[in-house]
Structure 1
């Protein structure tokens, strides 16, 4: 009986690991359905459709064009954007679903088609979700690439820009006057991503004579770091810079933090036992020294000692003391953040403590996830359960 309970425990704790074929690959795959091209993303974990959705039926509904954004709704539920399945930011909004359902009701009836049985509008998020297509930022007319002359953006990772930008500024002088208003925020270093993001909007990179659209992930990282500081002074995040208006298609080199800094031997006690030796500073939170980061990390020590999540410590260190790769810092992994948060947030809430705003998982990207590190713990339990099964067989 004891062996039986141990078997059940292994299968319950690691259902994906002990059942071959159940663990979906975390590798993003291209969206191949013709009716889902141009909806704002190019990759998905489910190129053949999420279980419960008939891709042929979805395609028929989209091709009827019975509602302006029917393609966005259907594609995002049947072949969602590559990322964590629980992120509302990549899901369609409830209001969009309800509008499409109402618009298409008569057409579906006339064509003798039915609404997808598994698509329930009430299960979709109401906020921080996709209401329509991303801003058509790639439609700007071709122009002549010109060297960047705005001082604030002269040290970004590209050297040429093209105007007008997506906000309609027609010259670098005009765009430079507006972007300079953000100088105090850049100066206080609320986020190392703020300056690269602002420059990508106001002084965009010139690609084949066109401005490269801003990267949504970069926007979210900047907003996560600076939004709370701005709200303290009653300044909302600008509507013109709303991250939901951008797309992830234009994100370049998301693995590394592209800001000035240095790599140094990791000495902070909190992260000393993690499997990398060099950390990059300043980090994404603005900490400039390991002493400063270690003080911030020690606030989480009780949670780490309680063991609410084995992923908490690696995640915290990836944020406060990011791994140094090729002279730059590796950005935190969104999946690691979500695993840490799901394990520890319920315990934090019991004591009236909220998950920190500056560690909001939506601000990170899955592109930087080092799969082998995330699987180490799972492989350990694979081994434990394997030894257990062997012991059962031989006893």
Structure 2
């Protein structure tokens, strides 16, 4: 245990020191990690964030809009501005910010969605000062979608995510509570937790995470979430390890336990030992 603690502490300092200074550091914020086409960044950014903990707090309010897909460029723009692309060539470190068009497309497509939910486009997400894509050396926008991306409904389908196999329940439903329905995107987000799972902080970590990102389908309820009590138990045993492994970031917003129903509520929830519940087969 002492050796494991030493290793975790070393990893914490490696990731934390890699977020500020002259070198490129691994991107750890969950709304960007593995989802934007590059893996490393350098801080401080142009907004003055010195650590990814600050980036996380800044991006958290617009995370739902990234998942909802108001623009296929919002994630690239918001992440590109706060955790800009960092590459090292020899002794030279290069930083790339989003192109001005990446900003324009995101703002035009998402401002109305934000307004409809009582939120304004964040003041600090400015297009001013960004390069045009014709100038190169910036993160070019994806081609704009002609129509707003619609959810893909997958009602009580076999869960094919590799980390979600051999669980008590193997059938799930999409979209999830975060309006995510595309399996490729969800898988990339699930993969972020592999490092935490490898720490073996809790035996039922994957049961919780898989049930959050693809709610379980059981006979009485096709959209069944893990119980709050399980979430609280997993968080209690894994939160400190998460902070050490992920550069001091706080426990992810999507795993905040108040989101999930307690076992005593009228809403059905499940724990791994609920083997008496009838599974739905393909």
**TM-score bin (small chain):** 0.3 to 0.5
Higher helix share: 1
* TM-score, structure 1 as length reference: 0.29
| Larger RCO, structures 1/2 (Cα 8 Å, 6+ apart) | 2
